[in-house]
Homo-oligomer: A and B are copies of this chain.
Amino acid sequence: MDAAPRIAIDAMGGDTGPVAMVAGAARALRKDPKLRFLIYGDEKLIGAELERLPAMRAASEIVHTAESIAASEKPSQAIRRARVTSMGMAINAVKDGEADAALSGGNTGALMAMAKLALRTMPGIDRPALAALLPTLTDTDLVMLDLGANTECDAQNLVQFAVMGSAYARTVLQVQKPRVKLLNIGTEELKGTDELKEAAALLREADYLPLRFDGFTEGDQLSRGNVDVVVTDGFSGNIALKTAEGTARFVTDLLRRAFKSSLRSKAGFALSKPALNLLKVHLDPNNHNGAVFLGLNGLVVKSHGGANPKGVANAVKVAASMVRNDITRKIGEDLDEFRAHAFNHEGA
């Protein structure tokens, strides 16, 4: 694999458009000077952002597009404008082999629909899933999927997510045989939907896969660090992810209020500040920005719409790491293994 990942950037997605996207890519470039960028969007706006970033400008090629996908645009409508929008063209760059990964902070549903149409799902995958790393109490992050690409999932989808999430964990977390759990509302075998029970039965049988299936887990265990991959449908996954984000902000808001409540606690805050800053770094969603669509014949990374340059830089880092680790090929190999065994079983 070429050590110079080429990232196609949709500069018009996200809350601030080119402002955060260009500054974030430049930030990533400073740490990883081999990166190359194709930047899609309004060339004047992009050019203005690049003005004081000579290294970034040298590493980038701007492709002007007059149109972009709106945050509220229906995916069914967005896909008709794939060829003329910054989002669609960034994805097409991956399809045409001009870029190794596409990055967007725009409309998730449109990004998913366009990516699926342009890149197609891998053999053996019915639906792609959105995966991201979540912080835990231990030094190791957790891979969680699906985070919102598929509102409803059947047992086969969940099993495919487990295979893809494990390949992702082996690549980014360096765990040989990731421990995989299904998110449920209890840990007993009889708990949950029929889809979950069936997926658990299938995963229990699939001992030839490079993963250890370890049953169900619950929402309050996510940050405990006792699992590498948590698999769920996109509805529950999105609810869990956003509830975790909201609760972390809730607690830190209460904390801020507590520290401000008296002169004494203000003094205590001043003393504890260096230690509390570590907590802030650990909880900052920008440090975990960059969710990957797994299961496509090409890499597409979703940046949070509200990500700041640091967050965008992290998403670029995720994209570059996926490219260098050849994640698409690795997932493909695991899927081949899975299908070969499943086929043998059927034949037996």
A-side residues, CB < 8 A to B, are: 72, 74, 136-137, 148, 151-152, 183, 185, 188, 190, 192-193, 218-224, 232, 234-236, 238-255, 258-259, 261-262, 264-265, 267-276, 278-279, 282-283
Contact = CB atoms under 8 A, between A and B. Distances in A.
A346 to B, nearest CB: 30
A7 to B, nearest CB: 27
Contact of A278 (B251, B261, B267): B261
Nearest to A255: B279
Contacts of A252: 251
A58 B224 CA distance: 44
A219 B264 CA distance: 34
Copies in the complex: 2
A241 B243 CA distance: 8
A221 B268 CA distance: 30
Contacts of A239: 183, 185, 218-219, 232, 236, 239-240, 243
Given A185-B242, A221-B246, A251-B279, 6 more contacts: A185-B235, A219-B241, A243-B243, A244-B247, A265-B275, A268-B275
A76 to B, nearest CB: 9
Contacts of A265: 271-272, 274-276
Contacts of A268: 267-273, 275
A112 to B, nearest CB: 12
9 contacts: A192-B235, A218-B238, A220-B243, A243-B244, A244-B246, A248-B250, A255-B276, A258-B272, A258-B278
A218 to B, nearest CB: 5
Contacts of A271: 264-265, 267-268, 271
Contacts of A232: 239
Contact of A219 (B234, B242, B270): B242
Contacts of A188: 72
Contacts of A247: 222-223, 243-244, 247-248, 251
Contacts of A253: 137
Contacts of A273: 268
A221 B263 CA distance: 31
A242 B220 contact: yes
A283 B218 CA distance: 19
Nearest to A147: B185
B251 A283 contact: yes
List the 4 closest pairs (A to B, CB-CB), nearest first. A268-B272, A268-B271, A219-B242, A220-B246
B249 A220 contact: yes
Contacts of A224: 246
A275 B261 contact: yes
Given A193-B151, A243-B240, A270-B268, A275 B259 contact: yes
A193 B148 CA distance: 12
Contacts of A264: 271-272, 274-275
Contact of A246 (B72, B223, B242, B250): B223
